[in-house]
Amino acid sequence: MRRIIIFHISQLGGHKKAGENIKEALELKNPFLEVFSLNIFDYISPLLEKKINLLYGFTIKYLPQLWGSIYDRKSLVKILTPLRSLVNRYILPEISKLIKEIKPSLILTTQAFPCGIIGDFKRIYKWDLPLIGVIIILIVFGFIPK
């Protein structure tokens, strides 16, 4: 049986729901697929997941302009690169265990952050596994991302 993992990073927002919809569509199209839709942070650390959701939810609800001004900015990506390396050091061994256990033939992500994590995993562990990033475009807070 072929297996697919779909990763997202938050219980909030539409990325989880998009993953669940993709999972349902894949399983309807091919009943011989086994598809897992997983929150990568909840899998690694439920406490970390709760903190991320609190921060994300607060920012979206009370500071939407801040979120709009920092979201998907190259300068922010550059600043956060050392943090991403630190997060990867903690997360990648756990991701390795999960991938060895499930043995997927494909990984799909519905958000950029888990796509980057899996991209780093593939590079560091020299894992030849297809990775697909699904882009979900939303017009939120009255602005269109560039």
Q: Model confidence over 89-118: pLDDT tens digits?
A: 888 999 999 999 999 999 999 988 888 889
| Packing angle of the helix pair 74-102, 112-125 (nearest 10 deg) | 60
**Average pLDDT along the chain:** 83
Specify the pTM. 0.79
Per-residue model confidence as pLDDT tens digits over 10-42: 776 678 888 999 999 999 999 999 999 999 888
Per-residue model confidence as pLDDT tens digits over 129-138: 999 999 766 5
Q: Give the percent of the chain with pLDDT over 70.
A: 82
- Alpha carbon of 51 to those of 45, 54, 117, 140: distances in Å? 10, 5, 19, 23
Domain ranges of the chain: 2-133
Classify domain 2-133 at the CATH topology level: Rossmann fold (3.40.50)
Three-state DSSP state, 94 = helix
